[in-house]
């Protein structure tokens, strides 16, 4: 079964955007690790059942893992919280509450990223733009959002390829110390910025050549419509969101 025949690909983009929105709101509202982990696992299951390849999921984890680890380390140090001290050296105090909060924020970030990945990895850009327009956004804003989301991954891939090319030419990124490593990465960032500016210029020329923004009348070759399956999935999403709210209010 290819992605074009999977149920996730065929869903209306508004349903998938609704899932991402409700999932992120639920992640913000709850503080319980069990609920946070459940949402994170659910996003993975949806992506896998929807025929999103494991390589794509691992690639997303590769981009998130550094930020997740930094949050898990810094949160208990900067905001130790109340409760008994597990470990202390000088002014640095680590508590159980601080560790749990750090883990919770890290899971929130990862689950939010994977919730957004559900509509982004399973929806063509023109369909996503049409879905945003159907939700009430102006066409130009919908187009800008769609282009930004579609080219975000391209810029990330450009950073990886440029970094690997410069390391093959002798650039050393294994220096110790955050400041030295940041300085060593400056040539790569400059090259990525230049490549991004060139990409933006070519994109602007391409849109201008196609008359983007010159006419307000537009037609869609294949418009999107909510089907019975879409409504059932949307009802299930709202019901799941309600369960999260009730479970968060339920006493431990």
How far apart CA 82 and CA 84 sit, in angstroms, is 7
Residue 25 pLDDT more than 50?
Answer: yes
Please state, rounded to an integer, the average pLDDT across all residues of the chain: 81
Residue 119 has pLDDT above 80, yes or no: yes
Return the pLDDT at 19.
Answer: 94
- Statement: residue 252 has pLDDT above 70: no
pLDDT given for residue 165 in this prediction: 78
For residue 95, give the H/E element and its range: strand 92-95
pLDDT at 2: 45
pLDDT at 151: 72
Mean pLDDT in residue range 80-91: 75
- What single string gives the DSSP state of each residue in 100-143? HHHHHHHHHHHHHHHHHHHHHHSS-HHHHHHHHHHTT--HHHHH
**Read out DSSP for 7-40?**
HHHHS-HHHHHHHHHHHHHHHHH---HHHHHHHH
Predicted TM-score (pTM) of this structure: 0.75
- Greater model confidence, 186 or 33: 33
pLDDT of residue 174: 62
- Range with the poorest average pLDDT among 91-100, 142-151, 242-251: 142-151
Instruction: Tell me what pLDDT residue 114 has.
Output: 93
**Contact indicator for 12, 224 with CB cutoff of 8 Å:** yes
Q: How many CA atoms lie within 13 Å of 172's alpha carbon, on the beta-carbon side? A: 5
For the chain, give every domain's residue range: 1-123, 137-212
Question: Averaged over 22-38, what is the pLDDT?
Answer: 91
Beta bridge partners of 89: 92
Of 92 and 42, the one with more pLDDT:
42
């Amino acid at each position: 079964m290819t992605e074009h025949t999977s149920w996730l690909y065929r869903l209306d983009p508004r349903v998938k955007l609704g899932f991402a929105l409700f999932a992120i709101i639920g992640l913000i509202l709850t503080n319980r690790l069990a609920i946070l982990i459940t949402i994170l696992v659910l996003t993975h299951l949806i992506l896998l059942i929807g025929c999103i390849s494991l390589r794509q999921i691992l690639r997303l984890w590769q981009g998130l893992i550094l930020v997740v680890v930094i949050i898990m380390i810094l949160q208990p140090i900067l905001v130790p919280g109340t409760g008994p001290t597990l470990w202390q050296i000088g002014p640095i105090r680590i508590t159980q509450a601080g560790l749990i909060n750090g883990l919770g924020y890290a899971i929130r970030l990862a689950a939010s990223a994977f919730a957004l990945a559900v509509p982004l990895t399973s929806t063509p850009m023109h369909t996503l733009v049409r879905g945003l327009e159907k939700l009430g956004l102006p066409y130009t804003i919908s187009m800008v959002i769609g282009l930004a989301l579609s080219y975000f991954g391209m810029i990330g891939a450009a950073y990886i390829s440029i970094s690997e090319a410069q390391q093959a030419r002798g650039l050393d990124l294994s220096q110790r110390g955050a400041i030295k490593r940041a300085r060593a990465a400056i040539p790569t960032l400059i090259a990525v910025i230049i490549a991004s500016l060139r990409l933006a210029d070519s994109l602007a020329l391409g849109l201008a050549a196609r008359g983007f923004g010159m006419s307000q009348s537009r037609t869609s070759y294949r418009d999107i419509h909510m089907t019975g399956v879409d409504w059932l999935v949307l009802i299930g999403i709202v019901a799941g969101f309600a369960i999260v709210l009730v479970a968060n209010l339920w006493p431990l």
